[in-house]
Structure 1
Amino acid sequence: MALIDFGGVKEEVVTRKEFPMSRARKVLKGETIAVIGYGVQGPAQALNMKDNGFNVIIGQSKKYPKDWDRARKDGWVPGKTLFTIEEACERGTIIEMLVSDAAQRAIWPVVEERLAPGKALYFSHGFSIAYSKQTGVVPPKDVDVIMVAPKGSGTSLRRNFLSGAGINSSFAVEQDATGRARERCMALGIAVGSGYLFPTTFKKEVFSDLTGERGILMGALAGVMEAQYDVLRRHGHSPSEAFNETVEELTESLIRLVAENGMDWMYANCSATAQRGALDWLPKFKKAVKPVFAELYKRVASGEETKRVLQSCGKADYQKQLGKELKAMADSEMWRAGKATRALRPKEPAKKNIGVAKGTVGRASN
């Protein structure tokens, strides 16, 4: 493992240099990796592993024909590489639980019955294990229990894999029955296309993940955007102007600079007026929202958020209800303005040598 300084704290990580693909193939030689669920993470992880030369099969319920048909369109063959959940669990030596958290509780009896000694039970989220009292997911003692959690959506994982970039993932070993759990886990992390791997626990992963999703990554992000858009509209700004100043400039310009070189570099490459205002208002926003994040983390740690997920997502009509909520978002003025804005983005081919072109390097932050 490599020792990296993260803001003054030394942490161990696993890169492709320490654990190359050749080693991953050696560790997983003879294994049959059964990816259970072809919804959000399943397709990306399965296709990435398949493209990397690993023996992968899919377990998908025919109750969800869209996911079954999607798997077929992606090249998985019924009876050869595409099976029911029951048969995939029978065939697999590594069972990857990539259905939703609520669905994991529902199918657990089917999976548990087929966990022969020496198999590995793999997760990409600590939810079912960390909250086992609510989910009922308690693996037998004679199987490995491991996790690789990509820090991004399945779509991003697949896109980054195809571009050669990869997405960083956390990994954890909850139970080592074979003495090979850690190697199996790291090999799978490399196999799915991780940029690098950093260690965690099932509990820490789910606490940070649920906080992040409800917070800055999704819930807080959308909430803050809507709040600013509403204020601008109430003061007479047009939908186009309000959307551009709230969303478009962030997603098409500023956040890309942060991704490249950090927040200070983004600030350094904005106007002096923008810099001064942002630095002045940063502590005000931090003070305003920190109590909300503290409340959120408390609810995650107590299991209240888990209870909400299982009660809501476990309902038979959940997908229908979700569709209504997402449609309401899409039909709002703000996101209809966004659709019009995206349609106006130029579609010209990229300029050659853009990475070294004059005017693209930016100003140093110090």
Structure 2
Amino acid sequence: MAQINFGGTVENVVTREEFPLETALETLKNETIAVIGYGVQGPGQSLNMRENGFNVIVGQRKGKTYDKAVADGWVPGETLFEIEEALEKGTIICFLLSDAAQIELWPTVKAALKPGKSLYFSHGFGVTYKEKTGIVPPADVDVFLVAPKGSGTSLRRLFVEGKGLNSSFAVYQDASGNARNKCIAMGIGVGSGYLFETDFYKEVTSDLTGERGTLMGAIQGIFAAQYEVLRANGHSPSEAFNETVEELTQSLMPLVAENGMDWMYANCSTTAQRGALDWWKPFRDATKPVFEQLYNSVKTQEQAEISITRNSQPDYREKLEVELAELRDSEMWQAGAAVRNLRPERS
């Protein structure tokens, strides 16, 4: 493992230099990796592993998602199977269904976990909240996770570009004595940029906080607040959207990703710099209590209970579509659709 200084704190991380793809392939050369679920993470992880040379199969029920797997090159009866058959054939079971679907399918998965097999997750939810989910792995199987820090779409896109998406990894149960190496090999196989170690509890609490916070919930709330203030003061939808979203996502965030927030500031006007430096702390002070409330809600398992209860309802998909439509049909994101259509095509 490599020791890296993160802002004064030294962490051990795994890079492709310490654990190259060849080592990962050797570690898993006798394994059949069965990816169960072809929804959010399934396509990116399975396609990346397949192209990296691993022995991968997919388990998916018949339907639109099954058809998508066929379109992606998975061959029925050879590399694409019904879930039960894939579970029997697999030695590493990649349980990549949604949290609610994992609860429903767990009895089937558990029955297929024969001694010596491995159970792989990309989220610590099911095992961490086992009292609520009922997901308690048998003692004679390895249990570990690799959690890419982004969507499956981003994982795939960066892999195709020859890059990588950073991932956390954790071992929950080491029945074989080799779970850690298998876990790291899986992380390299799915296309991680580098791997940092955590545990199942820390993964799920940081993940739930991040999704509800700066990654999705908070950013939408901040977008909406600024957009509404600009519109209330007479600015056009185009001006309000460009100043709120487009400039951030298309111009400024790539600079932050490239070389940090201070570098982005340094590449903006002195007027912009002065305003940003004056206002970031008031925004921090205003929002930090909300983040503390959010983290406590995750820590007390309130957020887990809400997710399990609501996402397990039979009409969940219909209710979800209504809530997504509220975003999609809002003036801000209708303006966004128009702005995206006006972006010039690259030749």
Identify the residue that residue 262 of structure 2 maps to in structure 1.
Answer: 264
Take 2:132 and 2:335, find their aligned partners in 1: how far apart are those partners? 41
Identify the residue that residue 323 of structure 1 maps to in structure 2.
Answer: 321
Report the AA paired with residue 20 of structure 2: P
Identify the residue that residue 9 of structure 2 maps to in structure 1.
Answer: 9
* C-alpha RMSD of the superposition: 0.7
Identify the residue that residue 129 of structure 2 maps to in structure 1.
Answer: 131
Q: State which drifts further: 213-222 or 78-87.
A: 78-87
Take 1:322 and 1:180, find their aligned partners in 2: how far apart are those partners? 41
2:338 counterpart (337, 340, 347) = 340
Identify the residue that residue 108 of structure 2 maps to in structure 1.
Answer: 110
Number of aligned residues: 347
Identify the residue that residue 302 of structure 2 maps to in structure 1.
Answer: 304
Cα displacement (A) at 1:291: 0.4
1:151 counterpart (149, 152, 165) = 149
Cα displacement (A) at 1:66: 1.4
Mapping of 1:228-243 within 5 angstroms?
228-243=226-241
Provide Cα deviations, 1:247-301, integer angstroms capped at 9, x if missing partner: 0000000001000000000011111111111111111110100000000000101
Identify the residue that residue 173 of structure 1 maps to in structure 2.
Answer: 171
Take 2:246 and 2:141, find their aligned partners in 1: how far apart are those partners? 48
Do structure 1's residue 49 and structure 2's residue 36 form an aligned pair? no
Take 2:334 and 2:15, find their aligned partners in 1: how far apart are those partners? 42
Cα displacement (A) at 1:61: 2.0
Report the AA paired with residue 36 of structure 1: I
Take 1:183 and 1:291, find their aligned partners in 2: how far apart are those partners? 40
Mapping of 1:204-223 within 5 angstroms?
204-223=202-221
Cα displacement (A) at 1:323: 1.6
Take 1:237 and 1:210, find their aligned partners in 2: how far apart are those partners? 35
1:256 match: secondary structure? helix
| Unpaired runs of at least 5, structure 1 | 350-366
Identify the residue that residue 199 of structure 1 maps to in structure 2.
Answer: 197
Identify the residue that residue 362 of structure 1 maps to in structure 2.
Answer: none
Report the AA paired with residue 334 of structure 1: M
Q: Under a length normalisation based on structure 2, what TM-score does the superposition of the two structures give? A: 0.99
Report the AA paired with residue 101 of structure 1: D
Identify the residue that residue 24 of structure 2 maps to in structure 1.
Answer: 24
Take 1:106 and 1:12, find their aligned partners in 2: how far apart are those partners? 36
Identify the residue that residue 361 of structure 1 maps to in structure 2.
Answer: none
Identify the residue that residue 354 of structure 1 maps to in structure 2.
Answer: none
Cα displacement (A) at 1:314: 1.0
Report the AA paired with residue 36 of structure 2: I
Take 2:46 and 2:163, find their aligned partners in 1: how far apart are those partners? 17
Provide Cα deviations, 1:110-134, integer angstroms capped at 9, x if missing partner: 0000100010000000101111111
Q: Under a length normalisation based on structure 1, what TM-score does the superposition of the two structures give? A: 0.94
2:243 counterpart (241, 245, 267) = 245
Report the AA paired with residue 131 of structure 2: K
Q: State which drifts further: 151-160 or 68-77.
A: 68-77
Cα displacement (A) at 1:348: 3.1
Report the AA paired with residue 177 of structure 1: A
1:99 counterpart (97, 100, 109) = 97
Identify the residue that residue 294 of structure 1 maps to in structure 2.
Answer: 292
| Unpaired runs of at least 5, structure 2 | none
1:236 match: secondary structure? coil
Provide Cα deviations, 1:15-51, integer angstroms capped at 9, x if missing partner: 0000000000100001100000000000000000000
Take 1:28 and 1:6, find their aligned partners in 2: how far apart are those partners? 31
Identify the residue that residue 70 of structure 2 maps to in structure 1.
Answer: 72
Q: State, as a whole percentage, how many aligned pairs show the same letter.
A: 65
Take 1:151 and 1:182, find their aligned partners in 2: how far apart are those partners? 19
Take 2:243 and 2:96, find their aligned partners in 1: how far apart are those partners? 37
2:112 match: secondary structure? coil
Provide Cα deviations, 1:39-85, integer angstroms capped at 9, x if missing partner: 000000000000011111111123xx111111111111122111111
Take 1:74 and 1:311, find their aligned partners in 2: how far apart are those partners? 33
Report the AA paired with residue 15 of structure 1: T
Take 1:67 and 1:295, find their aligned partners in 2: how far apart are those partners? 37
Take 2:118 and 2:257, find their aligned partners in 1: how far apart are those partners? 35
Take 2:61 and 2:303, find their aligned partners in 1: how far apart are those partners? 27
1:113 match: secondary structure? helix
Identify the residue that residue 60 of structure 1 maps to in structure 2.
Answer: 60
1:170 match: secondary structure? strand
Report the AA paired with residue 201 of structure 2: K
Identify the residue that residue 187 of structure 2 maps to in structure 1.
Answer: 189
Report the AA paired with residue 251 of structure 1: T
Q: State which drifts further: 74-83 or 229-238.
A: 74-83
